[in-house]
Amino acid sequence: MGKEGKTPKKDKKDKDKTPSKAKAGDDEDVAEVTELRAVCAIAKPLADIGFHKKILKVVKKASKHKQVKRGVKEVVKALRKDVKGLCVIAGDISPIDVITHVPILCEEANVPYIYVHSKEELGAAGQTKRPTSCMLVLLDAQKGGDKMSEEDDKEFKEMYGKIVTKIKTSE
């Protein structure tokens, strides 16, 4: 009586094989498809998966030492004051009118910018519980921020430099 209610193991294995056949040819493609999200039409240049992770790593390291401006209002204010940095914009913002002016301000201020796939991941990398639409990563700490050790600072600036050069070469 106990086995009547359960699905036989043979059927369960057949169900498991169906998705694995799709994955067998291209494991990487399937993994990328699950991580990528729909982004708005203006999200260019958009970071690929590997570059996306590097960007979020830099954002996380900068936010630990208060080297970020979070949100559209703070980023626009900083860009108008000619604060230099790296602007990271989420590509899945709705409505897109909220962030359409940010890339223009970045170009006028000669600040490199790039889109990432998810506002949730950007917010998490910036160590906030809320999704964040855009962030400006600064090279130096703001007032009240603790300074990085020399090793961390050297590593951060190296990663930051690589990201900026890759963005500038992709344009």
Task: Give me the sign of the Cα torsion angle 138, 54, 120, 62.
Answer: negative
Q: Are 23 and 6 in contact (CB under 8 A)?
A: no
Residue 12 has a pLDDT of 47
What is the C-alpha to C-alpha distance for residues 87 and 68, in angstroms, rounded to an integer?
10
pTM value surpassing 0.85 = no
What is the C-alpha to C-alpha distance for residues 72 and 99, in angstroms, rounded to an integer?
7
Per-residue exposure over 20-35, b if at least 16 CB sit within 10 Å of its own CB, e if not: eeeeeeeeeeeeeeee
Res. 89: pLDDT tops 50: yes
Over residues 26-57, the pLDDT tens digits come to 434 333 434 556 788 888 898 998 899 999 99
What CA–CA distances, in Å, run from 96 to 24, 55, 91, 171? 37, 22, 9, 21
Over residues 52-88, the pLDDT tens digits come to 999 999 999 999 888 999 999 999 999 999 999 999 9
Q: Tell me, what DSSP letter sits at residue 94?
A: S
Task: Give me the sign of the Cα torsion angle 106, 111, 112, 118.
Answer: negative
Residue 43 has a pLDDT of 85
In the structure, what pLDDT confidence band is assigned to residue 140 with cuts at 50, 70 and 90?
confident
Over residues 95-139, the pLDDT tens digits come to 999 999 999 999 999 999 999 999 999 999 999 999 999 999 998
Residue 6 has a pLDDT of 58
